[in-house]
Amino acid sequence: MKENVASIAAPATIETRPAATTTPGFLIRTRPALLALVVPVVFIVFWQLAVVYGHSRLIPPPSEVAVMMWDFAFGGIWDDAFSRTLHLHLLMSMSRVYGGFLLACAAGIPLGLLIGRVRLIRQLLDPVLQILRPIPVTAWLPLSMIIFGLGGTSAFSLVFLGAFYPVLLNTIFGVRNVDPKLFEAAAMLGCKGSSIFRRVVLPAALPSIFTGLRLGLGFAWVVIVVGEMTGVPQGLGAVIMDARTLSRTDLVICGMIVIGIAGFLSDKAITWLNRRLLRWNPQHT
């Protein structure tokens, strides 16, 4: 009788163990996502209460912004000029942001490697770059409209300027801070000439270069609104400017949210690439 009872009770204990072990694991995996939602939820609640009890008619509540976002993405509510146009404006802004950012990388990384490594080039270019760097991108807006005219080329050039200096300066910083012992070790192993760039300078400077890429891409999304003030018909910046003219605050907030999410996902992509390429570096895993 005792053996039968033991044989019946044993499977019950085996079945309950996976639930006890998997539940904490699930909570551990979802804990970062849950913590990341705390501040947005608190902000939305505060926003709703501030609008309701503050009796403000200039700032729409979150519910109206959600309705506008749905119409902006899928249509079927207002059926105006902005309905179901989110994908068009987002693709146009992405083409300008990523195009200007890639051009800034193509120019900033090689130039930063040369300035950081070659003293003559540093003496020639560093003073001029340090003079041009503090000039805000908004100050270049009238000049870019004169040179490139109204349209997407002016926006492209402003995005390039916004992303260029973070990439350039962080590349120079990475090259200038390469440990001199690495050059001595490379010389002992027979690494000379141009191979030092490929095998010593570039790998050692990659962490700083990726920091510049993250900053440059972030500034590119910041500058896109200013860049699309140059009379472009499509783009998130153009939507925000048109909505401001029409006093459509809910649409302005929708454009801001889309830019924030797009910039966040872009930064995550750079971070993922950073982890893939710098797996050998224990400080950047």
What predicted TM-score, i.e. pTM, was given to this entire model?
0.84
At 154, list the tokens.
């002016």
119-130 pLDDT, tens per residue?
999 999 999 999
Determine the average pLDDT of the residues in 111-116: 92
Collect contacts of 119-124 with beta carbons under 8 A, ≥24 apart. none
Question: What is 71-284's CATH number, 1.10.10.60, 1.10.3720.10, 3.65.10.10, 3.90.1150.10?
Answer: 1.10.3720.10
Task: Give pLDDT, residue 58.
Answer: 84
49-104 pLDDT, tens per residue?
988 888 777 899 999 999 999 999 999 898 899 999 999 999 999 999 999 999 99
Tell me 280's DSSP state. Answer: T
Q: Work out the burial of residue 235: count CB atoms within 10 Å of its CB; fewer than 13 is exposed, 13-18 middle, 19 or more buried.
A: buried
Q: How far apart are CA 41 and CA 46, in angstroms?
A: 9
Supply the angle between the helices 62-74 and 2-54 in degrees, to the nearest 10.
100
* Amino acid (one-letter) located at 60: P
What is the DSSP annotation of 4-54? HHHHHHHHHHHHHHHHHHHHHHHHHHHHHHHHHHHHHHHHHHHHHHHHHHH
